[in-house]
Amino acid sequence: MSDSKDLLRAPFELAYNYKRSNGPVMSKFFEALGEQKILGTKSSTGKVFSPAAEFDPDTHESLNDMVEVGPGGSIESFSWIEAPQNHHLIKEPFAFALIKLDGADSSMLHMIADCNEADLSIGTRVTAAWSETTTKRITDIKFFILEK
Amino acid sequence: MSAEDTPKDYSESPINLEYFYTAGSATTRFLNQVKEGNIVGQGCPKCKAVYVPPRGSCPRCGVATDIEVPLTDKGCIESFTVVHIPIPGNPIVPPYVCAMIRLDGANISFLHLIQDVDIENIRIGMRIQAVWKPKEEWTHSLENIKWFAPIDEPDVDVATLRFQES
């Protein structure tokens, strides 16, 4: 048996280049992000889902009625990341948060940056900060910042 | 909705997982030999089965495979598949052949490439030998073997390779 210090060790990266089929509803959602607009889908009961949902989990109806929400909203819950790691998109301390956008009844998971942990609490108002370049992905919203 | 009026059908959604891999003592022993161009399997002290690549224990007997068994780089094709579909990021251009290689004296097989032969001539039981990279490129990896190529020896009946308890 070798000592553990003699064992071979090496970094290893496993990567898959998936391509996701967006479907008709999410296509509109991502397309709108490219125009710095956040869309949701509205059900017959008046409930608005954002990020857009393709089906209403309560009524099971398919959702096609797109409505604009945000870009402001309030924090429903958050988790502060004091020491971001390599795979995090933000290198300074930031928060992952569930944000209920104005006009929406569901919340969106995103990041909140350019703030301190003490600035954040449930109900704090935030607004979307947009990326310089748009790729029609959720990262077109760079992160959320405190509403002025 | 037709293809024309679908604003954006697909989005790139790459997934990256970064690991730090630690080889166990069995794999370390094996790969240190591979670095030198040697293939050394590990044998079970109880049932005498030889494992290459070794994982450190015999799944049949549940004991450590602490017997080092030097093998040659010759063997036969136990099974194979012709790959026609390109895999993103894979430098090998289809069609190509992946095969389970059973080295002489081993009781399990491992996956590697078969080249230097027309695909339609590849068959189960075909005798093959490793084609190594230049020695200065050798690392702790079975990629030191570029691929396996057929050699001029009679085919093996793979049914005879089934493990016989001694």
A100-130 pLDDT per residue, tens: 999 999 999 999 999 999 999 999 999 999 9
Give the whole-angstrom CA distance, residue B71 versus residue B37: 11
Interface membership of A20 toward B (CB under 8 Å): yes
Interface membership of A85 toward B (CB under 8 Å): no
Query: Which of A5, A26, A27 is the best residue to mutate to test the B interface, defined by the most B CB atoms within 10 Å of its own CB?
Result: A27
Retrieve residue A73's tokens. 């909203």
CATH assignment, B73-160? 2.40.50
Query: Which of A6, A9, A14, A17 is the best residue to mutate to test the B interface, defined by the most B CB atoms within 10 Å of its own CB?
Result: A17
CB atoms within 10 A of CB B145: 20
Q: Where are the alpha helices (DSSP H) in chain A?
A: 23-33
A82 has a pLDDT exceeding 90: yes
Candidate from A7, A8, A20 with C-beta closest to B11: A20
Average pLDDT over residues B14-41: 92
Q: Which domain holds residue A63?
A: 22-146
Retrieve residue A66's tokens. 């797109």
Residue A109 placed within a domain: yes
A15 and B14 within 8 Å at the Cβ level: the answer is yes
* Reported confidence tier of residue B4, pLDDT bands at 50, 70, 90: very low
B2 has a pLDDT exceeding 60: no
Based on the structure, what is the number of domains in chain A?
A: 1
In B44-144, DSSP assigns E strands to: 50-51, 67-71, 74-83, 96-103, 110-114, 127-132
Residue A54 placed within a domain: yes
Average pLDDT, chain B: 90
What residues of chain B lie within 8 A of the CB of A22, using their CB? 8-11
Omega prior to B95 cis, within 30 of 0: yes
In percent, the amount of chain A with pLDDT more than 90 equals 80
Map tokens 């702790």 to a residue.
B140
Which value does ipTM take for this structure? 0.71
Residue A15 placed within a domain: no
Rounded to a whole number of angstroms, the distance from the CA of B122 to the nearest CA of chain A is: 30
What pLDDT score does A4 carry? 66
Residue type (1 letter), A49: F
Closest C-alpha among B117, B91, B114 to residue B101: B114
Residue A9 placed within a domain: no
Across A13-22, A44-53, B38-47, least confident range: A13-22
Interface membership of A27 toward B (CB under 8 Å): yes
What pLDDT score does B8 carry? 53
Nearest 5 degrees, angle CA A23-CA A29-CA A30? Answer: 85
Residue A36 placed within a domain: yes
Using left for φ > 0, alpha for ψ between -120 and 50, and beta otherwise, residue B30 falls in alpha
B166 has a pLDDT exceeding 60: no
Rounded to a whole number of angstroms, the distance from the CA of B88 to the nearest CA of chain A is: 7
Q: Sign (positive/negative) of CA torsion B130, B133, B136, B140?
A: negative
Give the whole-angstrom CA distance, residue A98 versus residue A74: 9
Q: Which residue of B has its CA nearest to A15?
A: B16
Size of interface A-B (CB pairs under 8 A): 89
In percent, the amount of chain A with pLDDT more than 70 equals 97
- Domain boundaries defined on chain B: 19-71, 73-160
* Reported confidence tier of residue B165, pLDDT bands at 50, 70, 90: low
Residue A73 placed within a domain: yes
B133-157 per-position pLDDT tens digit: 999 999 999 999 999 999 999 999 9
